[in-house]
């Protein structure tokens, strides 16, 4: 006889549905991590239909150098269903100010990126995906890398460049920005995003400090990326997640929360069920 909760996903599903009734939408990132196979997914690498059985939103990673195949996304969207919400997560070369010294192109190593926040190159990455009629993209999230303190680019120059980029992007879509330079998260910066209806996404490290910045969660919907499943339970990452949820519930806002998969928890000291146990407790 099969126990009612032999499938961990069946235990999680009522909790996920309850959270969705309050407009709290949970997704895993990356969606197709093999870590969850045999735990939440019954098929290898978490087929879209298996993922959508539990979750109703997902991040779709879009590297500017190698964007996703629109045909593949179309098939994935058909499998997930019309109510499934995708967030396009755009990073890569257009999102970094200076090329890393380990860049594969030797000519670019350590050089300032001349195409930093280039709206034309960014749009080329995701516009073909958004034109798919089957795809329900709720948010286009731009992840901007950290800008070192020794760089010549100051806050004013950064803000001008960012706003020029945002103003030049196609206006039909909802945008979000995750800014990896914490010293640039100033009231003027947040106000400029609010004026343009841009979602500010708190940067993950340290996440608790980021969500406590006044005005950091002023948008509706809110978007959060959290590594809490890879962290010790009840730590600061968990506190940041719960503070964000409480604020969104209190102000009746929608939240899209993307949680790192449990791969980082699958260390020699952790059992294979660590990620599932933490996800279960997080949603309790």
pLDDT digits (tens, 9 = 90+) for 145-202: 999 999 999 999 999 999 999 999 988 889 999 999 999 999 999 999 999 999 999 9
Q: How confident is the model over 1-56, as pLDDT tens digits? A: 444 445 777 788 999 999 999 999 999 886 656 556 556 666 654 478 888 888 99
Q: What is the full DSSP assignment across 222-258?
A: EEEEE-GGGS-TTSHHHHHHHHHHHHHHHTT--EEEE
**Contact criterion met (CB below 8 Å) for 29 and 258:** yes
| Cα gap 73→61, rounded to integer Å | 11
3-state secondary structure of 177: strand
| Whole-structure pTM value | 0.90
Q: Which residues contact 117 (CB under 8 A, 6 or more apart)?
A: 94, 95, 144, 161, 162, 164, 165
């Amino acid at each position: 006889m099969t126990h009612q909760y032999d499938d961990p996903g069946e235990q999680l599903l009522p909790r996920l549905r309850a959270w969705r009734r309050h407009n709290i939408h949970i997704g895993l990132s990356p969606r197709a991590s093999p870590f969850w196979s045999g735990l939440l997914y019954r098929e290898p690498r978490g087929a879209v239909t298996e993922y959508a059985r539990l979750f109703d939103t997902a991040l779709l990673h879009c590297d500017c150098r190698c964007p996703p195949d629109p045909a593949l996304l179309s098939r994935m969207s058909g499998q997930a269903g019309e109510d499934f919400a995708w967030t396009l997560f755009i990073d890569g070369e257009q999102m970094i100010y200076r090329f890393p010294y380990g860049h594969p192109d030797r000519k670019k190593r350590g050089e300032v990126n001349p195409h930093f926040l280039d709206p034309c190159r960014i749009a080329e990455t995701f516009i073909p995906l958004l034109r798919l009629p089957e795809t329900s993209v709720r948010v286009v999230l731009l992840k901007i890398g950290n800008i070192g303190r020794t760089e010549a680019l100051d806050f004013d120059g950064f803000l001008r460049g960012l706003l020029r980029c945002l103003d030049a992007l196609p206006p039909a879509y909802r945008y979000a920005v995750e800014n990896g330079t914490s010293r640039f998260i100033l009231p003027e910066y947040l106000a400029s995003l609010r004026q343009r209806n841009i979602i500010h996404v708190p940067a993950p490290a340290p996440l608790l400090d980021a969500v406590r910045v006044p005005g950091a969660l002023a948008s509706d919907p809110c978007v959060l990326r959290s590594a809490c499943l890879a962290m010790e339970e009840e730590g600061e990452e968990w506190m940041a997640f719960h503070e964000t949820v409480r604020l969104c519930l209190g102000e009746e806002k929608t939240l899209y929360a993307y949680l790192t998969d449990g791969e980082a928890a699958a260390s020699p000291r952790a059992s294979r069920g660590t990620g599932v146990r933490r996800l279960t407790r997080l949603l309790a």
